[in-house]
Structure 1
Amino acid sequence: MNFSIRQIFTFREVMRSGSISQAARTVGRTQPAVSTMISTLEGELGFSLFVREQGKLIPTPEARFFLEECEAVLERIERIERTVSKIRSHEAGKLRVACHPAAAGLFMPRILTDFLQGKDDLEVSLIMRSSDVIEDLIASQQFDIGFAETPEPRPSIKQTDFDLESVCIVPESDPLAAAEQITPQDLDGAPMAVLFEKHPMTVRTEAAFQRSGCRFRKRLELRTWAPGLQFVAAGMCYMICDMITAYGCLQQRQTTAGLAIRRFTPRISSSVSILTPGYATPSLTSEAFTARLCAAIGHMQAEIETSLSL
């Protein structure tokens, strides 16, 4: 048999209305076109669907039985159409995101919360991993999007890099909070909260102090920046950290009271990247979220710049 979905749909409308003319209006075709379509369908099926009695269109028993199957087919097609519509509008499917610690606590969840509004059928997996682990997860296509410190380029990963400015976090009551910018001379020999010794930020910051002839005193060595905020608020140290951590301070003023964000000179880069698999075609949802993440990073930079200019 060779009949189309349009024929099945038209047949159902004829069954519902009991009239060729009414069905024609419903499906937006002429009455002769609908009559021809039904006749062609009957030819394909090998039996009659309707008989005329006293000017009325009467369905045959075979038509009623065939309608049951048609309803099941059309219901499935309508469900497919709804699913396709949701996929097209990024409201259904799956999204797997791997995020490094600095952004996993506040920055990424807030972006996802906004992105998921009205998308009840979109499933999300969000994990926090170190940047080097995220690289492997993306390269092996285990996750759709990675947000991590900028890696060395490799063919198995597509990356969009953002060269962010590091900033200095000081106690709000500290005299340095009144400065427009802070230099290594201001922090010469001062207690610092830093990341582990071989982390790129630690290496770059220590090099900046050495070039200025200043002592870089590592009082607190951390795995992530988040605990350092509490130490700075308590007046135990200062901290030169990434912009995303500082942005968290702006977003949570009540829980990070007592902290001031200041520009640090010379500029120290804390580059981050959006990573996607290099050998896979991204889903529409993945592309949409990547665009949303790019916009959020730009918004963050603008807010931090405004804060530093006050």
Structure 2
Amino acid sequence: MNLRQIEVFHALMTNGTTSRAAEVLRISQPAVSKAVQELERQVGFSLFHRLKGRLVATAEGRLFFREVEGAFIGLTQLRAAAARIRDFGSGELRLVSLSALSTNIVPKALHAFQRRHPNVRITFQARMSSVVKELVASGQFDLGLAADEIDVTGVDASLFSYRRLVVALPGDHPLIATAIVHPEDLDGQPFIALAPEDTSRHKLERLFEQRNVHPRIVLETPYSTTVCAMVQAGMGVGIVHPLTAEPYEGRNLVVRPFEPAIHSRTLLLLPPDRPPSRIVADCIDELRRFAQVVPEE
């Protein structure tokens, strides 16, 4: 049994006559009849009754056709996938990012990317940086954005963003009147802290220790977006990436510069030993365009 025989059988069942099947397949009627006879010999039962020059499907032929239909659906899907790959690379984009960039850079970049590739299907998830790394390393996602505290073994990592952090304050906080916030200004303040493993928190804790400053931690979270939401709700102050705070500014959240400067480094992760496809490369271009990267000092 070969694919051509199956195609002839499918065309005959679908179109009803050998002449119409031959026309659709662009072959002769005798070629249709011969292919059907060969297929019957292969499967070991009659697919058609021969009645007055016409072929009428047997019960076995109709049952076999149901199986062939399923195979043809799969074949159609394969052809569609091949067309997507030809036109758009993989035909889909799978991006995973740390939460801090999921409400600012990523939406803008994906909107711009979608305008360039309207037929590419996009999957996006916001996850903790350690999970981002595992999803990219395993090949489940095409690229990821993660904080620099992760172990980059098993992925190709490069610098994506390097930004100076800011202090996020509730809209009625007295420190709003301060042009620049210093560590001493945060002594005793209710403080929304990032998770203990966060690199930015490590830097901040060393600075507080050097200055003998003791903010009052009221909540810990791995997500900068949660820091902003809690600050917005009035629970305390926090130190965050400026782009994370951007969607919250003007809605009971104000940012101020913080000195001495603390920077956040974000990494772009790719699966190892696998050059990015054209659509992945285009997405990276858009992400970098909106990242507003500041050179490391």
TM-score (norm 2): 0.65
| AA of the residue aligned to 1:259 | L
Deviation at 1:152, TM superposition (A): 4.1
Deviation at 1:244, TM superposition (A): 3.0
Q: Are 2:128 and 2:222, in contact at CA under 8 Å, matched by a contact in 1?
A: no
Q: What are the superposed Cα offsets for residues 258-286 of structure 1, whole Å, 9 maximum, x if unpaired?
A: 21111111111221111112210210000
Deviation at 1:223, TM superposition (A): 3.2
**d(CA) in 1 for partners of 2:146 and 2:272?**
16
Q: Name the SS for the 1:137 alignment partner.
A: helix
Q: Name the SS for the 1:142 alignment partner.
A: coil
**d(CA) in 2 for partners of 1:82 and 1:194?**
49
- Out of 121, 124, 127, which is 2:125 matched to? 127
The residue that corresponds to 1:217 in the other structure is 216
Deviation at 1:155, TM superposition (A): 5.8
**d(CA) in 2 for partners of 1:194 and 1:296?**
26
The residue that corresponds to 2:92 in the other structure is 94
Deviation at 1:238, TM superposition (A): 0.9
**d(CA) in 2 for partners of 1:67 and 1:221?**
67
The residue that corresponds to 1:40 in the other structure is none
The residue that corresponds to 2:185 in the other structure is 186
Greater mean alpha carbon deviation, residues 204-213 or residues 147-156: 147-156
The residue that corresponds to 1:284 in the other structure is 278
Q: What are the superposed Cα offsets for residues 8-61 of structure 1, whole Å, 9 maximum, x if unpaired?
A: xxxxxxxxxxxxxxxxxxxxxxxxxxxxxxxxxxxxxxxxxxxxxxxxxxxxxx
| AA of the residue aligned to 2:95 | V
> Structure 1 residues 223, 162: closer, same or farther in 2, change over 3 A?
closer
**d(CA) in 2 for partners of 1:219 and 1:235?**
12
The residue that corresponds to 1:20 in the other structure is none
**Structure 1 residue runs without a partner (length 5+):** 1-64, 70-78, 302-310
Q: Name the SS for the 2:183 alignment partner.
A: coil
Deviation at 1:66, TM superposition (A): 11
Q: Are 2:98 and 2:147, in contact at CA under 8 Å, matched by a contact in 1?
A: yes
| AA of the residue aligned to 1:176 | L
Deviation at 1:189, TM superposition (A): 1.4
The residue that corresponds to 2:243 in the other structure is 244
- Out of 251, 258, 268, which is 1:264 matched to? 258
- Out of 133, 139, 142, which is 1:141 matched to? 139
The yes-or-no answer on 1:293 pairing with 2:287 is yes
**d(CA) in 2 for partners of 1:221 and 1:155?**
29
Q: Are 1:141 and 1:280, in contact at CA under 8 Å, matched by a contact in 2?
A: no
Q: How does 1:64-103 map to 2 (within 5 A)?
A: 68=26, 86-87=87-88, 93-103=91-101
> Structure 1 residues 138, 212: closer, same or farther in 2, change over 3 A?
same
Q: Name the SS for the 2:94 alignment partner.
A: strand
Q: Name the SS for the 2:186 alignment partner.
A: coil
Q: How does 1:223-238 map to 2 (within 5 A)?
A: 223-238=222-237
The yes-or-no answer on 1:168 pairing with 2:170 is no
The residue that corresponds to 1:112 in the other structure is 110
**d(CA) in 1 for partners of 2:82 and 2:144?**
31
Q: Give the number of equivalent residue pairs.
A: 221
| AA of the residue aligned to 1:130 | M
**RMSD of Structure 2 on Structure 1 (CA):** 3.0
**d(CA) in 2 for partners of 1:182 and 1:168?**
7
Q: What are the superposed Cα offsets for residues 278-300 of structure 1, whole Å, 9 maximum, x if unpaired?
A: 2102100000110110111018x
Q: How does 1:51-62 map to 2 (within 5 A)?
A: none
Deviation at 1:81, TM superposition (A): 11
Q: Name the SS for the 2:292 alignment partner.
A: helix
Q: Name the SS for the 1:121 alignment partner.
A: coil
